[in-house]
Each structure stands twice: as C-alpha cells, then as structure tokens.
Structure 1
Amino acid sequence: MAQLYFEYGAMGSGKSIEILKVTHNYELQGREVLLMTPLVDDRYGVGKVTSRIGLSRTAQVIDPKEDLFATISAKQNPNLAAVLIDEAQFLTAAQVDQLAYVVDRLKLPVMTFGLKQDAFNQLFEGSKRLLEVADKLEEMKTICSFCGKKATTQLRIVNGKPQYSGQQVLIGGDSTYMPTCRYHWYHPIIEKIRTEE
C-alpha cells in the first residue's frame, strides 16, 4: 500500500545518504524512481542530491510554484516504483498536499527527507505540513557537536558566532551549521565552533 513518508533529522543525520541508498536499492531491482530536490538547494549545484561523504546524483528540480501532482502524473509509467524528495522542508504546504494526492490517487509511495525545523527552532512550511499529513514519520539521529547527546536541531554560525535571528533559509554546509542538542543550541561552547569547511 502506497504511503507518504517523512524522514527528518538535524543536519548531519544522514538524510541525503539515505535517499541515495533507497534510490540505489530500487534501481538494483530494475525499478524506476523519480528523484527530486527543490530549486533553492544549490549548495552542491542545482538539481543535485549530494551527501556529506561525497556521493551524488542528479535529480529533477522542483520549482516553488510547481504542481507536483501534475508533474508526477505526467511521468507516471508502469515501471515507476516511487517518488523520492530530498530537502523536503523547502516544499510549500500546497506541494505537500499534492504529494498526498500522488499517494492516494496514483497509488505511488512518496518518500520525503528533510529538516524538521530551521536554525531558530521554527518549523519549515514543508516540514510542518508533512508532520500533519504524512502516513509515516521517522526521525534520523545524529549527535550534538558539543556533548555527544542526541542532536535535535542545528546551530547557525555566521562569522564564527551563533546566529539566533535572520532569514529562515540560508544554504550552507558544515561551516555554517552544527547539529546540537537543545541545551547547546542555547549554550554553545564558543571555542568549539567550527569556522572552516
């Protein structure tokens, strides 16, 4: 039975490597997947799903105004086994609803991967809607950069200092964000803040 999945976790929890693994496993069985990623995520180039360990795949780009139900309907064929979406936090609420329609009407499983909240501990629009409507939720875990406990969020670093306000979306890697537990999000150990990639 097709379902809408949302796998979420702090930065560095392995979301991109997981989506690449799932893609590989489907293809190993001779089944086709539609791998997609939002236009806004250009950290490794537009239309790229790239893990921190260096694995990468080209993906179809999702425009912020795109109707995902229409796009996926047009690509549907008997060999299409699943739709996989990286950086799902950047989807609009309407696009998440369109993915639910894909599951319910086209009977295709849709697996989404992304952050739950931003660097200010506020839900992203796409993540909020996924938490509301997804059939299956799974947290991917990583550890706090400061203490080794479970990381629940990410701390944004700008010019070597923690940032607690600003624009919600700031694309960046390991020099811009550090996974943290709640305590160390509020109380980072300044001398341990990374300042280089």
Structure 2
Amino acid sequence: MNAVPAAGDRRRHAAPAHLTFFHGPMDCGKSTLALQVDHNQSRQGRHGLRLTQGDRSRSARISSRVGLSRDAVEVDAGTDVRLLVRDRWAAGHRVDYVVVDEAQFLTGAQVEHLAELVDQSHVDVYAFGLTTDFRAQLFPGTQRLFELADVVQRIQVEVLCWCGAPGLLNARVVGGAMVRDGETVVVADTAPETDLGTAPDEVRYQVLCRRHHVGGQLGPTPTGPGQLTLSGQPLADEQVAVR
C-alpha cells in the first residue's frame, strides 16, 4: 500500500490553492453551505479538516438550522490552526482543504495563518462567517478575511426583515428590547420572542434591514417556530459568542 502523502496532491504538484470567504447576516445559510462545500470536496476524494467555534449546538460540531450537522474541531483564540493541519500530516493523514465555520470569531493572526496554509502548503481554505456584529460593526476576523481572502462572496440566500426588505444587520434583543451595548460575543440564536418570553436575561437575535436596525424597530412579534430556547442561566465564559 502506498504511503499517505503528507498533505495531498497539491503539495506535490504545487497547484494553486485559494482562501475563500463566504459571509452574510444570521439565517442566510452559512453553516448549511459550509457542510455542502465539505460534502462536495470529500466526494471527489479530497480530505478535509472542519473547524468551528461557538456552534449553536454548544458542542464541537458544525450544525445548521435545517438539521444538518457534522463533527468538527473546536478552536479558540489561542489555537494555532497551522499546527492542527501539521499534526494531521505528521500522523500520516492528508489535508487537502480546511472548512472554517463561525470564521468571524477568528483573530487576525489566525486568518493570517490560514493564508499561510494556502500560500505555503497549497491547502484550500473555505471560511464562513457573519459580516457584522449586533452594533453593525465588522468582526475582527471578518475584517481580516476581507483584507486577505482571494475570493470574498456574499451568500446569496436572501434574509428578510420583518417589513419585507432585505435583512442586512443583526440586532441583539434582551428581554424583548433591542440593545446596542454589551459584550461583542454572546451565544444565542434567532428564536422568536414567543418562544423565549421577555425575561430580563433572555437573549435572542433578529435580522433587520438597515432602516429598522438604525431605528431599533423590531416589528410585530414573530410567530414562526424558534431555533433555540435559552434557559436564562448565565453563560459560561467559553459560551460567550454571537450567533
């Protein structure tokens, strides 16, 4: 049996690799697309590494709101993503591509490390993340990906504001009211208010158009099924993340 190459055919043949960043607001299908890209790559015989941080499942997985999920490696701000790949190579496993979900949480240095994997090791990187936080400001990871990625694509699945206009911005709602101050990262999902109630410590997110985000107008109470009901218990430090 032939030995497994350290990193796949691209290291041997030096075919160009790319850093691609897919971004959008909440509910636009980032995690679903991440899983689809991973599926399409793997079915062609390529070997990948899936990374995530602060997934809605509260576990080391990439999970989507439509019910798809796969296991992944959980990273944090101290993770050197280059070492994760090199450890796979050292164990005799190929890594032809890396899929990174929740890429907005990456540090600037981690984005640079991903670019290094692309340029020096010919590993394709597909990153998926939110464009802006609840204050309509770029996440640091998102900003660095905009600066360094070979390809930047806004995800084309349209998310609607309650008024019917395209939803572009993520609003944080605490106890039924939109807030503009607080930690950049707090884990919650887009469950309707009818699922969560209006307790002071209950958090959800809602996608709004620019006009209603600026005006702080949440519109009529949502009536659709929610995605995740928070218990109201304080979040542990490692759970602090925006969805």
TM-score when normalising by structure 2: 0.75
The alignment status of 1:44 with 2:57, answered yes or no, reads yes
CA deviations over 1:23-69 (Å, ceiling 9, x no partner): 1112222221101112xx04302211110111111101113111111
* Corresponding residue SS for 2:70: strand
Question: Which residue of structure 1 aligns with residue 181 of structure 2?
Answer: 165
Contact 1:146 1:189 (C-alpha < 8 Å) held by counterparts: no
The alignment status of 1:150 with 2:178, answered yes or no, reads no
Question: Which residue of structure 2 aligns with residue 63 of structure 1?
Answer: 76
Deviation of the 1:74 alpha carbon: 2.3
AA matched with 2:210: R
Aligned-residue Cα RMSD (Å) equals 1.8
Aligned-pair identity (%): 35
The alignment of Structure 1 onto Structure 2 pairs a total of residues equal to: 195
The structure showing larger relative contact order (alpha-carbon pairs under 8 Å, at least 6 residues apart) is 1
The structure whose Rg is larger is 2
Question: Which residue of structure 2 aligns with residue 91 of structure 1?
Answer: 106
Residues 97-106 or 69-78, more deviating: 69-78
Match of 2:126 among 93, 99, 111: 111
* Corresponding residue SS for 2:137: coil
Deviation of the 1:194 alpha carbon: 4.0
* Corresponding residue SS for 1:192: coil
AA matched with 2:131: K
Q: Provide closer, same or farther for how the CA distance between residues 187 and 193 of structure 1 changes in structure 2, counting only shifts above 3 A.
A: farther
Q: Provide closer, same or farther for how the CA distance between residues 119 and 30 of structure 1 changes in structure 2, counting only shifts above 3 A.
A: same
CA deviations over 1:141-190 (Å, ceiling 9, x no partner): 42232222222211111111111111100111113111121111123544
- List runs of 5+ in structure 2 lacking aligned partners: 1-15, 192-203, 227-243
Contact 2:55 2:102 (C-alpha < 8 Å) held by counterparts: no
Measured in 1, the distance between the counterparts of 2:219 and 2:167 equals 19
CA deviations over 1:118-155 (Å, ceiling 9, x no partner): 01011111111111111110001422322222222111
The alignment status of 1:25 with 2:53, answered yes or no, reads no
Contact 2:162 2:219 (C-alpha < 8 Å) held by counterparts: no
Match of 2:144 among 124, 129, 134: 129
Question: Which residue of structure 2 aligns with residue 82 of structure 1?
Answer: 97
TM-score when normalising by structure 1: 0.91
AA matched with 1:155: A
CA deviations over 1:74-127 (Å, ceiling 9, x no partner): 224674321000000111111000000000000011010001110101111111
Q: Provide closer, same or farther for how the CA distance between residues 9 and 191 of structure 1 changes in structure 2, counting only shifts above 3 A.
A: closer
AA matched with 1:178: Q
